[in-house]
Amino acid sequence: MLGLMQDWPLLISKVIDHAASQFGNQEIVSRLVEGPIHRETYRDLRNRSLQLAKSLTQSGMKSGDRIATLAWNTHRHLELWYGITGLGGIYHTVNPRLFDDQIVYIINHAEDRMLFLDLTFVPLVERIAPRLTTIEQFIILTDAGHMPETSLKNVMAYEDYLARSDSDFAWAVFDENTAAGLCYTSGTTGHPKGVLYSHRSNVLHAMAHVAPDFFNISSHDTVMPVVPLFHANSWSLGFSAPMAGARLVMPGAKLDGPSLHELLETERVTMTAAVPTVWLALLDHLNRTQGRLTTLKRVAIGGSACPRAMTEAFEKHYGVTVAHAWGMTEMSPLGSFCSIKPALAGLDDDALYALKMKQGFPTFTVEMKITDDDGLALPHDGSTFGRLKVRGPAVTRQYYGSDETVLDRDGFFDTGDVATIDPHGYMHITDRSKDVIKSGGEWISSIELENLAMAHPAVAEAAVIGVHHPKWDERPLLIVVRKTDATLERDGMLAFFEGKIAKWWLPDDVVFVDEIPHTATGKIQKTALRDMFADYTFSSTASKPQ
Ligand code: ADP
């Protein structure tokens, strides 16, 4: 017997309709790529998205068409999300930090029909345009007054494109499983792979993350998504903040410490989210300028492991609560969040920060397990680690353009991460399965060594890779960027680990560099580091697992 409730498809248009009707005057503040601060309301955002949907329809765009964006976080990028999906189209966020060849591959593979780009990316797109085989029109996200000279053909300013229509348009209505968004994984191995979100998956994912134990967003918040809309759906914030009626601050192209600090303070931001490298820059700026964070209450940090030193700095020096988030493009992208369950309230300082290093427990829409290589479930004892697998309505089952399932026989997706799960349900990533250091038949967690190194006051950034060792297969090599003006040498660095880890985990050597390479999503690029140190040999073979 079926229930007798209404059929109300979970469409993205419902989100912006709700925001505009209940929080119509709530502001979206954007730092424009052209420079100034722009303000509009949810009511404006809805009207302009309707206008855009109408213009797109007039350009012949229809349900199922892919439309690419190469853009920073601004109101215009959000309008694209709502306008494109409102007619049944698919927004395809392209990460501008990828290599030209990858961008060309992704746009051609998706067969995008239009490309909306920020002024910043005009030179990039001019360079690759001859190789884009399916793009019919380029729209530059600016007004006529700021249109640059460009070699792009069939190009128009966004504000002119919008002005071709009014907002007298009705959102299309269709099955909630219809595709809504496309985002390619960064493709550290092989070609990037397309993850195709649906209306239903985006709406459920956002609803789950508004909740108090997760982002805990309400209409009393001012939310600044620093994590880009092109990085895995901006961790849902493009949907969850409007759903909750939160005021939004979109930081545009300026993601450096001083610019972020200025916006956090002048726009009285209460909640924000981004990868650790962004916060390294902010904390460094605050440290140098004796800056304060007077309104910020919560920061979600994920994308790569958040070092304990960073969590403690935010909480102890600036009074900002840090929650570790974990996820991946294939999961829309959020999988878990580290808020404190009541059973763990009242932990002492040390135990609390040890807990906060874990990636947390899954949201309602995510099921999680760890298994051995044969798929056998492993215990949730906090020490056994295995392959982390997930299942849920916002987890991918197949990549775009492929007809192979990526699920195991129980319908779980193997995340490629290695993790433990403790009896309270908290998951802790030990490593990416390809980054874990295999030494003498045992595994060493590169993440744990990096986090410890980062706690040294002279260390700005640290990475650990496994380097071939004739006897032990692999041994850890620590690569360190020193803080400006700090002095630190190999022995001092290694002494810092003493008593904190098993002896055989101690890195065999320390190399100091000026810079550590990062991926397009701000993570340490281990593949590049492994290439850089491919010929590295340890000067002494004395260290051994014991
Ligand atoms: P990319 O950001 O490189 O485009 P993803 O966002 O899909 O790709 O990357 C997902 C991976 O990032 C996860 O499988 C995991 O290895 C890593 N990751 C994400 N969040 C965390 C975290 N909080 N701690 C440790 N690793 C994380």
What is the tens place of the pLDDT at every residue in 499-522? Answer: 988 889 999 999 999 999 998 878
Cβ neighbours for 104, distance < 8 A, ≥ 6 positions apart: 128, 131, 132
Closest to 395 measured CA to CA, from 333, 340, 350: 333
Q: 187 pLDDT band (50/70/90 cuts)?
A: low
Which residue segments constitute the domains of the chain, with CATH numbers given? 1-203 (3.40.50.12780), 435-532 (3.30.300.30)
Expressed in angstroms and rounded, the spacing between residue 127 Cα and the centre of ligand 1 is: 30
Report, as an integer, the average pLDDT of 311-329. 97
Active site residue 81: no
pLDDT of residue 232: 87
Q: Using an 8 Å Cβ cutoff, are 352 and 315 in contact?
A: no
Q: Using an 8 Å Cβ cutoff, are 356 and 322 in contact?
A: yes
Q: 407 pLDDT band (50/70/90 cuts)?
A: very high
pLDDT of residue 442: 79
Instruction: Report the SS3 class of residue 406.
Output: coil
Expressed in angstroms and rounded, the spacing between residue 326 Cα and the centre of ligand 1 is: 7
The verdict on the CB of residue 95 being under 6 Å from ligand 1 is no
Cβ neighbours for 238, distance < 8 A, ≥ 6 positions apart: 78, 81, 225, 229
Expressed in angstroms and rounded, the spacing between residue 333 Cα and the centre of ligand 1 is: 9
Residue 390, phi then psi, degrees to nearest 5: -135, 160
Expressed in angstroms and rounded, the spacing between residue 469 Cα and the centre of ligand 1 is: 28
The verdict on the CB of residue 396 being under 6 Å from ligand 1 is no
Model-level pTM greater than 0.75? Answer: yes
Instruction: Please report, as a single letter, which amino acid is at residue 113.
Output: R
Q: Using an 8 Å Cβ cutoff, are 93 and 66 in contact?
A: no
Q: Which residues of 19-55 are buried (b: 16+ CB within 10 A; e: fewer)?
A: bbeebeebbbbbbbbbeeebebbbbbbbbbbbbbbbb
Above 90 in pLDDT, residue 439? no
Expressed in angstroms and rounded, the spacing between residue 502 Cα and the centre of ligand 1 is: 26
Say if residue 333 is preceded by a cis peptide, omega within 30 of 0.
yes
Active site residue 384: no
In 83-226, the DSSP E strands lie at 90-93, 114-117, 137-140, 155-157, 179-184, 194-198, 222-225
Active site residue 120: no
**What is the DSSP code string of 282-307?**
HHHHHHHHT---SS--EEEE-SSPPP
Atom of ligand 1 nearest to the CA of 415: 14
Cβ neighbours for 87, distance < 8 A, ≥ 6 positions apart: 53, 56, 57, 61, 62, 63, 171, 172
Select which of 93, 142, 185, 396 is catalytic. Answer: 185
Q: 541 pLDDT band (50/70/90 cuts)?
A: very low
Task: Give the range among 93-102, 186-195, 201-210, 483-492 with minimum mean pLDDT.
Answer: 186-195
Select which of 27, 79, 159, 330 is catalytic. Answer: 330
Above 70 in pLDDT, residue 484? yes
Cβ neighbours for 317, distance < 8 A, ≥ 6 positions apart: none
- Give the whole-angstrom CA distance, residue 393 versus residue 334: 12
pLDDT of residue 188: 58
3-state helix, strand, coil in the chain (%, to 5): 30, 25, 45
What is the tens place of the pLDDT at every residue in 379-393? Answer: 999 999 899 999 999
Task: Give the range among 25-39, 60-74, 161-175, 421-435 with minimum mean pLDDT.
Answer: 421-435
pLDDT of residue 544: 41
Tell me the sheet residues that pair with 325: 337
Q: Whose CA is nearest to atom 26 of ligand 1?
A: 304
Q: Whose CA is nearest to atom 24 of ligand 1?
A: 305
The verdict on the CB of residue 522 being under 6 Å from ligand 1 is no
The verdict on the CB of residue 326 being under 6 Å from ligand 1 is yes
Report, as an integer, the average pLDDT of 87-91. 98
What is the tens place of the pLDDT at every residue in 487-496? Answer: 999 999 999 9
What is the tens place of the pLDDT at every residue in 326-353? Answer: 999 999 999 999 999 999 999 999 999 9
Closest to 359 measured CA to CA, from 445, 439, 282: 445
Q: Above pLDDT 70, what percent of the chain?
A: 98
Q: Above pLDDT 90, what percent of the chain?
A: 86
Report, as an integer, the average pLDDT of 145-151. 98
Mutate which of 193, 429, 432, 521 for ligand 1? The one with the most ligand atoms within 8 Å of its CB, which is: 429
Expressed in angstroms and rounded, the spacing between residue 189 Cα and the centre of ligand 1 is: 15
Average pLDDT in the chain = 95
Q: Is 101 exposed, middle or buried, given 0-12, 13-18 or 19+ CB atoms closer than 10 A?
A: exposed
Atom of ligand 1 nearest to the CA of 359: 23
Q: 75 pLDDT band (50/70/90 cuts)?
A: very high
- Give the whole-angstrom CA distance, residue 397 versus residue 416: 15
Q: Using an 8 Å Cβ cutoff, are 501 and 442 in contact?
A: no
pLDDT of residue 508: 95
Torsion of CA 106, 107, 111, 117, to 10 degrees: 150
CA separation (Å) from 116 to 83, 231, 481, 501? 12, 16, 37, 50
The verdict on the CB of residue 302 being under 6 Å from ligand 1 is yes
Report, as an integer, the average pLDDT of 167-182. 98
Report, as an integer, the average pLDDT of 407-432. 95
Expressed in angstroms and rounded, the spacing between residue 422 Cα and the centre of ligand 1 is: 20
Atom of ligand 1 nearest to the CA of 521: 2
Q: 540 pLDDT band (50/70/90 cuts)?
A: low
> How far is CA 362 from its chain centroid?
17
Atom of ligand 1 nearest to the CA of 416: 14
pLDDT of residue 436: 86
Active site residue 330: yes
Instruction: Report the SS3 class of residue 154.
Output: coil
Radius of gyration, CA atoms only, the chain: 24
pLDDT of residue 543: 46
The verdict on the CB of residue 234 being under 6 Å from ligand 1 is no
